[in-house]
């Protein structure tokens, strides 16, 4: 049985949702329940902030493909320019 939308979210659910949201966006209904929970629950609000900050720090590390791809595009664009 599906819980009602106005049922308060439990901390364990909130934390699972916070983690899941790092990988992919939550369904709108869950996002709403989570944001309501973290505004009322200080512990989960802190958890979300800490996890978010940690995730931002990881994302700022130069381990992703995108910058390399951009560099390659720039190099090939520069190469074309030189050939003319
Ligand atoms: Zn909580």
Listed in sequence order, the residues at least 6 apart from 44 whose beta carbon sits closer than 8 Å to its beta carbon are 11, 14, 15, 18, 37, 38
- Reported as a single tens digit per residue, the pLDDT across 6-30 is 567 999 999 999 999 988 999 999 9
Distance CA 9, CA 69 (A): 41
Q: Is residue 3 part of a domain?
A: no
CA 53 to centroid of ligand 1, rounded, Å: 18
CA 67 to centroid of ligand 1, rounded, Å: 37
CA 79 to centroid of ligand 1, rounded, Å: 55
Q: Is residue 1 part of a domain?
A: no
Q: Is residue 2 part of a domain?
A: no
Scan for tokens 């902030």, then name that residue: 49
Could you tell me which of 1, 58, 54, 6 has the C-alpha nearest to residue 29? 6
- Reported as a single tens digit per residue, the pLDDT across 34-74 is 999 999 999 999 999 999 998 888 878 776 566 677 778 88
Residues near ligand 1 ion, CB 5 Å cutoff: 11, 14, 41, 44
Total domains in the chain come to 1
């Amino acid at each position: 049985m599906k819980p009602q939308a106005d049922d308060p979210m439990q901390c364990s659910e909130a934390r699972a949702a916070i983690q899941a949201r790092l990988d992919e966006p939550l369904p709108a209904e869950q996002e709403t329940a989570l944001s309501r929970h973290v505004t009322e629950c200080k512990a989960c609000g802190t958890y979300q902030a800490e996890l978010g900050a940690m995730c931002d720090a990881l994302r700022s590390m130069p381990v992703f493909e995108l910058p390399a791809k951009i560099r390659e595009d720039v190099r090939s664009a520069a190469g074309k320019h030189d050939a003319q």
